Structure 1
Amino acid sequence: MNQKITPSTVLLLIIPPFLWAGNAVLGRIVSDLVPPVTLNFLRWAIAFVILLPLGHSVFRRGSGLWADRKRYAVLGLLGIGLYNTLQYMALHTSTPINVTLVGASMPVWMLVIGLLFFGSRISGHQLAGAALSMSGVLVVLSHGQWQQLLALRFVAGDVFMIVATIIWAFYSWLLMHAGNEAEIRRNWATLLLAQISFGAVWSGGLAVGEWALTDARIHWSWGLAAALLYFAIGPAIVAFRCWGAGVRRVGPTVAGFFSNLTPLFAALMSSAFLGETPHAYHAVAFFFIVGGIVLSSRSRAVS
């Protein structure tokens, strides 16, 4: 695999963290207006409608979608049905800064899952970089007080986000292992729509469960409608398109370190829109995370 990072690849991998940071901040803002699982379903249902005119050919008989339906069902479950649902659930009990900082453990899970399940080799620099990034996660989980780690004082949202991050790592690695999908890959819209089709079904089933088991309700407003459009177009369609293209160029391990930019963007947006000024321990966490990116970039694992 050619893992040379070009300016266009850097741009592809910077856009998703920026949009995902906005997703976390806006998700926190609307968390009292719509249940988290339902929010995820509405987001992807809208994305499906938007992409349908561009990628409807994926549903033709003989399309790679049907030959690889099991693969797309798994991709849809992991990347669309579970990851985003857990993230919105996390935002009900945690802040956007914390949620995105916990998500900065992504490089660790990319390395571990790549090694255990996909035969990827790990370099010393990547291990050291991942350790630094994980240290940043531990700083935010402990709120800068290390004794809290001994008491295992985790906010529920932080735990949800850790599970979501592991799921996203599996999703990213699976993107690298193509099936019989050459025709689908020729059009980015068909490739994404193939995943969303199954993902919307998974998230819809989860939403039905949410309404059956809880007192879920939606407080409709024009503001919520605008937020749903952003969720569908930005963090969903645009971010997934850029992330998929970036992962195929440099591999999940290298791409995973770019996800560490998300908490930086989230901190800036939270300060601007939510009045959540970052604390000193957030600055320490940023230091470790950026250090992990710099250190790991000195050597790239070969998948």
Structure 2
Amino acid sequence: MQAGTPTPTTTPESFVPHPGWLPPWIPDWTVDVTVAIVVLAVTFYISRLVKAVLGRRIARRFRRPSVVRTVLRSVQAAVLVAGGLVTLTVLGIPIGDLAISLSVFSAVLGFVLAPIIGSVINGFFVLSERPYEIGDMVQIVDTDTYGFVEDITLRYTKIFTLDNTFLVVPNGAMRDRDVINYSAEDARTRLALDLLVTYESDIDRARAIAEEAARKVDNVIEGGPDIRVGGARYPAAPTCYIEAFADHGVNLRLRYWVTEPYKLLTARSNVQTNFWELMREEDVEIAYPHSHLFFDETSGEMQVSVRERGPESVEEGPVSDEELVVSDETTETQ
């Protein structure tokens, strides 16, 4: 009698035999999970190591803090993604099927993630156009916010305000707003101050006092070579001009340069304080809106009459025996 050929048994590819060194009460999948956790931990430390090693080289290559941080974050993210794929392989998850599922899932979430994707795209434009850089002092015009650029990512710009708070603005919103950069190329900033003095004041002396008031402030440029802005040159020393002959006085405009844009309000206040103290000793007076009324024979007439009060009006209070009554007739103007 011929013995039959034994039927071979097939073992699934994903089946991992139970290691002999593990106790039988430990499940088989714990090995894969442990290996996956180790892979993730090693990947995390490798990503930080790569970032530290390539940091100086990339900084010497690009020389822009915002671009350097973006490149290093991209490299670190690439290492983490690679470690994640290895982790999926260790767990026995088919990457091909996962890619198809992610494609369908991404198509569904495309509408939800559209604002984030738009911010990332705008982030590339911000990095390429370079309207501001990390460390620059900027002002958001529509919100009247001053601060320093703390960080620039592909999604948002972080501003450390002068009020000791953080302002996180999406890059799409930053591109739609008017942003003033005070320290992009030259930290020197020109300020203007309007001063209204009376017509009776000594105008030449008022202009000299305004210029002297600005020169006495520490961070104001007293003089020197003209400052070039584009193709134009402007005096470096404080200069006061007659801006207009206004209704209530002569409007003087003082222009001066400050060495740093970090204390603009303080510099402006110090200039005005010095001008106030100096003009009190001179023949200069600040003008303010006021009116003078003149009455003559052409001003018109008002009909009035005088009557005596009766006993019945005593209860209204202790007033004089006569009261002035203005008639209902309107004033006649000649």
TM-score when normalising by structure 2? 0.20
Say which structure, 1 or 2, has more relative contact order (CA 8 Å, 6+ apart): 1
Higher radius of gyration, 1 or 2: 2
Q: Is the strand fraction higher in 1 or 2?
A: 2
Q: Which structure features the higher share of helix residues? A: 1
